[in-house]
A = this chain, B = another copy of it.
Amino acid sequence: MSALETINFTRGVPAIESFPTAELAACATTVLAQSGDAILQYGPAAGLAPLRTWLAEWQGVKPEQILTGNGSLELVQFLCTAMIKPGDVVFTESPSYDRAINLFRRNGANVIGVPLQADGPDMDALEALLAQHKPKLFYVIPDFQNPSGATCSTAKRKRLVELAEQHDILLLEDAPYRLLRYRGTEEPTLFELAPHRVLHMTSFTKLIAPGVRLGFMKGDAAILAKIGKVAEDTYISPGYFAHGVTYEWLRAGNLGPQIAKLKALYAPRLEAILAALDKYIPDAVATRPDGGFFLSLTLPEGVSTTDLRAAAAERNMNLADGLAFFPQGGGERFLRLPFCAMTATQIEEGIKRLAECVKAVRK
């Protein structure tokens, strides 16, 4: 590839070549012929009934324990409207998903970061923070975390739900990458460990495509009813058209093969980026994730992400702002690198350019 081609190490977008486009077209034809009236009319804000039932069976819960929405991020907003008052404390990992931090703040929350380690939140720091604050909730991304790529260990998951129990805190578990594990073995979800303490959230954005705008929350029916009422008051019904097509696609048994296809596509890209980092920037400390969309770097001493972004822009490369992931500062040398939407060739070229940038800005 040419040095002039733009490279984006910015957001966690899925690879276009992974989209099951023709399958979705066939499902649209089928579901419109069979259930057109239901997916074109208004209906319950909690979700299209057969979809909710399918998701509930898949997840081993009752349909009323599922709340669907137009992507999972917006469900966080509805949760905030239902539960967060200005001044309420919300814990997130630090770093955490910048859009979630932004939403909590927009709703007036005082967002406090719990330092994240390679195996999950720093438990000593969490306990110290719990001695000072009474958070309304702790937002955590236990699997292949955004932005770090870290996965929380089973031991820390267990301790986390214990602490949530002791301190009467709701855990908001965001798990959009969980099913994209490229190596290693699965840890239990927080929801599995303490279903009454956890709202578990996931999405088909990374498994099918962002365009279907389908995410869901799983948890206590009474809490979800409250959040669902906010959803109804906001948009009456979610996007039944795309949700109906997605339901048909799920019902037809496409999810398993699609996940296998995604792993086959993305696992070599993770290998490629790790190899390129070892080759071109050996002195940057990279997380070595077992799945998901991101790894992250701690840049060498003296190299700031801000300087690096400017140098990258001169080389036709876009990098994400590191600072936005840290609710209370830090992240000056933090760099998130999404790798799923790039070919191995683009990854190699991207990391090569990144190394040039590091060299150029190093003081």
Instruction: Please judge, given known A-B contacts A213-B238, A234-B103, A235-B213, whether A32 and B40 are in contact too, CB under 8 Å.
Output: no
CA distance A339 to B4 in the complex (A): 61
CA distance A102 to B41 in the complex (A): 22
Specify the chain B residue showing the minimal Cβ separation from A24.
B32
Q: Are B210 and A42 in contact (CB under 8 A)?
A: yes
- Binary per-residue interface labels of chain A (1-43) against chain B in the complex, 1 for a CB within 8 Å, 0 otherwise: 0000000000101101001011011001100110011011110
When distances are taken between beta carbons in the complex, the residues of chain B under 8 Å from A70 are 70, 213, 235, 238-239
Tell me if A106 counts as interface (CB < 8 A to partner B).
yes
Instruction: Please judge, given known A-B contacts A13-B41, A22-B32, whether A77 and B240 are in contact too, CB under 8 Å.
Output: no
Instruction: Please judge, given known A-B contacts A13-B41, A28-B29, A37-B19, whether A245 and B241 are in contact too, CB under 8 Å.
Output: yes
Partner of A237, one of B32, B37, B213, B233: B213
Instruction: Please judge, given known A-B contacts A70-B235, A239-B70, A239-B242, whether A41 and B21 are in contact too, CB under 8 Å.
Output: no
Q: Are B40 and A21 in contact (CB under 8 A)?
A: yes
Q: Are B71 and A236 in contact (CB under 8 A)?
A: yes
Q: Are A233 and B37 in contact (CB under 8 A)?
A: no
When distances are taken between beta carbons in the complex, the residues of chain B under 8 Å from A240 are 210-211, 213
CA distance A24 to B241 in the complex (A): 10
DSSP majority for the A interface? helix
Classify chain A: how many residues form its interface, as a range. Answer: 35 or more
Q: Are A103 and B237 in contact (CB under 8 A)?
A: no
Tell me if A73 counts as interface (CB < 8 A to partner B).
yes
Q: Are B241 and A212 in contact (CB under 8 A)?
A: yes
Give the distance to chain B from A313, nearest Cβ to Cβ, in Å: 21
Give the distance to chain B from A45, nearest Cβ to Cβ, in Å: 12
When distances are taken between beta carbons in the complex, the residues of chain B under 8 Å from A11 are 42
Give the distance to chain B from A336, nearest Cβ to Cβ, in Å: 16
Question: Which chain A residues in 21-79 approach chain B with CB under 8 Å?
Answer: 21-22, 24-25, 28-29, 32-33, 36-37, 39-42, 70-71, 73-74, 77
CA distance A234 to B25 in the complex (A): 28
Partner of A211, one of B21, B33, B41, B103: B41
Partner of A99, one of B13, B29, B81, B233: B233
Spell out A's residues near B (CB within 8 Å).
Answer: 11, 13-14, 16, 19, 21-22, 24-25, 28-29, 32-33, 36-37, 39-42, 70-71, 73-74, 77, 81, 99, 102-103, 106, 209-213, 233-242, 244-245
